[in-house]
Amino acid sequence: MIELQDIHKAFGPKEILRGVDLTIPKGESMVIIGGSGTGKSVTLKCILGLVHPDKGKILVDGKDVEKQDREEFLSRFGMLFQGGALFDSLHVWENVAFRLLRGKLKRPKAEAKEIAIEKLRRVGLTPDVADQYPAELSGGMQKRVGLARAIAAEPEIIFFDEPTTGLDPIMSGVINDLIREIVVEMGATAMTITHDMTSVRAIADKVAMLHGGKIRWTGPVSEMDSCGDPYVTQFVSGSAEGPIEAVR
């Protein structure tokens, strides 16, 4: 279980998070929605320790993330980055098996490559992709490789940062289905940030709306359309009229 308690974060004079409280139960898929620049990525980076909150506490399974062994803590996580964030200088299989080639989870090279190819197959890529470089792949294929890398070490918690950004609707659907299948299959706790409502409906068990540096609403995805919160209603319908200012 991941718990965020009163998280604050500012960059210079700009306050991004103003007291975020959020609980993600173990094994659930939580999707955080909200407009651009509302702090969705900052929230995610705070949990991973890539950004340090100015105030507040983050607990994973009841333990303060700041007080845990960094490598052990991060070994429980997998992350799919918005742009894939694949390492250009490494082959696709080396990207997927990155964690398995070094550190505490290190395996023999042949075994790591075998696992990488298996994970590539799991995300719908053929083994011949393994020996290519990321730059040789299309955007959709790079996202799948990123997904394969996120699940390679069988993490307990997986983060997805804008998983469908820049993809065509069909490829977005493929990635959404894959994420849902993998999260269910692995029993992992998942946190996704997106403003793609098709993704939200495909991936989420629960939804949280971030606005003004705070969680405005949280609830099951089935209640999202009828929750009555004017911010959520405007965001879901994509209307220019409502409490969320179009020009921010």
Partner 1 sequence: MGLLSPIAALGRAVLSALAWVGRLSIFAADTIRHIFSPPYYPRELGHALLTIGWLSLPVVGMTAIFTGAALALQIYDGSARFSAEAVVPQIVAIGMVRELGPVLGGLMVAARVASSVAAEIGTMKVTEQIDALVTLSTHPMKYLTAPRVLAATLSMPALVAVGDAIGIMGGYLVATQRLGFNAATYLTNTVNILSFNDISSGLAKGAVFGFLIALMGCYQGMQSGRGAQGVGKATKTAVVAASVLILASNYLLTEVFFSA
| CB nearer partner 1, residue 47 or residue 215 | 47
- Per the DSSP assignment, residues forming a β-bridge with 80 are 160
User: How many whole angstroms separate alpha carbon 12 and alpha carbon 117?
Assistant: 44
Query: Nearest distance from residue 59's CB to partner 1, in Å?
Result: 19
Query: Nearest distance from residue 226's CB to partner 1, in Å?
Result: 36
| CB nearer partner 1, residue 70 or residue 230 | 70
Collapse the DSSP code of 25 into the 3-class scheme (helix H, G, I; strand E, B; otherwise coil) and give the result: coil
Query: Nearest distance from residue 166's CB to partner 1, in Å?
Result: 13
Neighbours of 188 (CB within 10 A): 22
| CB nearer partner 1, residue 50 or residue 240 | 50
| CB nearer partner 1, residue 45 or residue 113 | 45
Query: Nearest distance from residue 48's CB to partner 1, in Å?
Result: 6
User: How many whole angstroms separate alpha carbon 7 and alpha carbon 23?
Assistant: 12
The DSSP code for 208 is: E
User: How many whole angstroms separate alpha carbon 154 and alpha carbon 159?
Assistant: 13
| CB nearer partner 1, residue 162 or residue 196 | 162
Which residues are near partner 1 by CB under 8 A?
45, 48-50, 70-71, 74-75, 77-79, 81-83, 85-89, 98-99, 102-104, 149
Whether the Cβ atoms of residue 97 and residue 115 lie closer than 8 Å to each other: yes
Give the burial class of 100: count Cβ atoms within 10 A of its Cβ; 0-12 exposed, 13-18 middle, 19 or more buried: buried
Query: Nearest distance from residue 74's CB to partner 1, in Å?
Result: 5
